[in-house]
Structure formats: structure tokens, C-alpha cells
Structure 1
Amino acid sequence: MSTSDTPIVPEEAAQPVAESIAEPVADAAVEPAAEPVADAAVVEAAAVAKVPEMTPSECARQLKDRFPALFAGNVAKPLKLRIQADIKERAPGVFTKAVMSAFLRRHTGTTAYLIALTKAEHRFDLDGQPAGEITDEHRQVAQEELDRRRAVHQERRVKEAEAERANRDKARAEERAAQTQQREEQELQEQKRRNRAQLLRDFEKTTLTRANFCVLKGLPESDLDRVLEIARKEAAEAPAPQADRPHAPRGDRRDQRPAGPRRDGDRPAPGQGRPPRR
């Protein structure tokens, strides 16, 4: 499976990888010591004080503007080793060492940059020209990090799918439980209504005293009037039963035939057309 065919998770803990495949943070360019150490320290401090602090995002924007051949475009390019020294030489006093280090750690730790390391043949300088080959060690480190991110991504997708399935099953179970409870409640209310209707019919036909009737029905006498009132109200609100419609007698089909001239295709009446067979 190629690296570009499988989605990669966002960059996580990319700093160790970036440090292993990118240039060293320290600038190893040897500068001539033309002045005493004390004077050089003063000059360096003054230069740093003049450079405004910028974020890695602002650093990336300025690098794209100054060196578009390397940093602009949609495809990442492997950086030349010790590119920080070249930037410092071509843009003196623009980027502090801390800002450049933060930017390079983030830039060389992106998935796009790691993929570029595994596919490109050369590193590139600030002008977008080949500047050294990529070692097998750097390719291997980049590929191992890509594999790790792919595994993390796959594991996360599996967990998300399992969680989604569990939530879906839970929602369905809750919906079924709610429907069952609603159906049982409706059946219970319907049974109570039928019991009240039967109680009303029995009360209207009984010859027992009120007290004996309540004892027979297992109903407190104090609740009898209330229950009967509800039953009478429900009986009044109930729709009247529809009487069965009488079926019309089936007459002679010939009597149901519409009058009028015979249409083409109709069978001729007896005595017309061909003579009957003997």
C-alpha cells in the first residue's frame, strides 16, 4: 500500500521525528571573530532586541514571501540540511533563532513533509534547486513515523465506529422500550375504560343495594359515584356503532345492462343474426 493511498492522522508528537530528519537547530556556520567576545555579545543582543518576536505562522508566511521556490506551493519539499544558516545569511536579522527553531520543528513534522521525504530524490535549497540527496536513514525514520500515524488513525476509526454502533444500538433499544411502555399504558387505560363501562352496565341492571354492589365489585362505596360519572362521560363520547349495511339482492345481469343501441362486439340477442342450430 502506498503512503498516499491511506489517510494519515494529524501530526502528533512530531518533534522527535522532526529533530531526527531535519537539520540541527544550532547554526554551525563558522563566523569570523573579528571583534572581541564582549563586543560580539553586545552586537548580538542588540540585533535580537531589534527583531520583533513573531509566531511560527507569521514566520511561515514571511518565508513563503521571501523564498517561494522552497516554501510556497501545495507540495512540500525536503529542506536542505542546515537550511537555517542559509536563511540567516539571506535574511539577516529577520528571524530569531527561537522562531526559526519552532517553525522548522513544526514544518518538518507535518505529514506532507514526511511523505515528501519518502518520495523525493533530493533535498532543495532556498531557490528550489536540488541540494543533496536524502539518506536511507532519514527515509526510514519518516516512513516509520507515517506508519505509526496510520496505525493510530486506523485504531481511532475503529473505536469511533464501535462507539457510533453502540450509540445507535442504545438509541434503538430506548426507542423500542418507549414504544413498549406507551403501548402497555394504552392497553392499561383501555382495560380500565372497559371495566368502568362494564361497571356502569352492571350498576344499571343490579337489584342489589349500593353497599352490597360495591362489596361485590370490590369498590369503595365512596368511589362509586366518581367512577360511574367517568363511565357515563366515556359512554357519551364514544362513537356510535355503525349498523351493517344490507346487501342488495343480486338481480339478473341482463337487467343491469344499459339500454341503447348494440355496440360492435356485443353478442346478438336470441332470434337475431345467425339462425339457431337444429
Structure 2
Amino acid sequence: MTNTPKSKQVKTPQEAPQQPKKKNKADVHAKKKQHRIDRIAQHWTLFSEPEAKPLMIGIKEAMIAEVKDKGLDIPESHIKQGLRSYISRKAYLKALTLGGNRFDMYGQPNGEITPEQQAIAEQKLKQWLKPKK
């Protein structure tokens, strides 16, 4: 019996096992946000429009009341999550900084953005765009 060393096999990149791609947290978060918005957009046209529009004051309560009045099968949690996702986007803050009308869930004007609300939106946007250390 001869003890000859076994030849070492070198793995080439093609032979190396494929590691599952790590999901980018920002992409996953953005997809979840969009999914929440899409759930309410099925019932209210404002949320399916390409540009963010400032929402009327009290829209959550109006949406919840409409669900109850019409007997729609939309959990209150979906409304809250969808609204939270909609208003926590840069595009929404930018829309607020422009001033003008607020809109109901069907895209109809309902109220105006005050100068104070514009200023608050501008501050939030500045904080958002501020470079992180």
C-alpha cells in the first residue's frame, strides 16, 4: 500500500456553493410600506395616485367611519398602517412644504395646509435629509 498524497481539489467560483443574497433592509422596508399603501389604495383612489398629496385632517376617522357605514372588510389596523406608511415618505413631506390644499380619500380638496404645518414639514424634511454621522 502506498501512501500517496491525494491531490487537492481547488474550488472554482462556479463550484462554490451559492450563498443566498442578503436582503437590503431599506428595500424590504420600502416594499412593506408600499404594500401597506396598496392595501388601502384598493378602496380609496387618492392612495393609488403617483404623486403624494397632503391628506385632510381627520382622514383616518373618516375612512374608519366609511368602512363601518358600508360594511367593508378592511381591518382598522390596515387603515392605520397604510396611512402611517403614506405620510412617512419624503414625497409626502415635500408635498406639505408646497402648501395648498389637503385632500380626502377620493382626491377631492378638503382643507388647506397652514403656514405652521408647512414649516413643521420643512423641519422634518431637513432632519431627514441631514447627513448621518
Equivalenced residues, count: 100
Partner of 1:111: 90
Q: Are 1:82 and 2:58 an aligned pair?
A: yes
Distance 2:129 2:37 in 1: 26
Q: Specify the SS of the correspondent of 2:110.
A: strand
Pick one of 63, 75, 100 that aligns with 1:121: 100
Q: Specify the SS of the correspondent of 2:80.
A: helix
Give the number of the structure with larger relative contact order, counting CA–CA contacts within 8 Å between residues 6 or more apart.
2
Paired amino acid for 1:91: V
State whether residues 59 and 95 of structure 1, in contact with CA within 8 Å, keep that contact through their aligned partners in structure 2. no
Partner of 1:71: 47
> Shift of residue 56 of structure 1?
6.2
Larger radius of gyration: 1
1:96-245 matches, within 5 Å, as 96-152=75-131
Partner of 1:91: 67
Paired amino acid for 2:101: H
| TM-score, with structure 1 as normaliser | 0.32
Distance 1:81 1:142 in 2: 15
State whether residues 122 and 134 of structure 1, in contact with CA within 8 Å, keep that contact through their aligned partners in structure 2. yes
Per-residue displacement from partner, 1:206-249 (whole Å, max 9, x unpaired)? xxxxxxxxxxxxxxxxxxxxxxxxxxxxxxxxxxxxxxxxxxxx
Distance 2:36 2:73 in 1: 9
Pick one of 33, 39, 52 that aligns with 1:62: 39
| TM-score, with structure 2 as normaliser | 0.63
Q: Specify the SS of the correspondent of 1:91.
A: helix
Paired amino acid for 1:76: A
Distance 2:127 2:110 in 1: 29
> Shift of residue 95 of structure 1?
2.9
Distance 2:118 2:126 in 1: 12
> Shift of residue 99 of structure 1?
2.9
Paired amino acid for 1:64: A
Quick check: which one's helix share is greater? Answer: 1
Partner of 2:21: none
Q: Specify the SS of the correspondent of 2:130.
A: helix
Unaligned runs of 5+ in 2: 1-25, 27-31
> Shift of residue 110 of structure 1?
0.5
The change in CA–CA distance for 1:59 and 1:150 in structure 2 (over 3 A counts) is closer
State whether residues 40 and 79 of structure 2, in contact with CA within 8 Å, keep that contact through their aligned partners in structure 1. no
> Shift of residue 128 of structure 1?
1.1
Distance 1:146 1:95 in 2: 31
Distance 1:105 1:62 in 2: 13
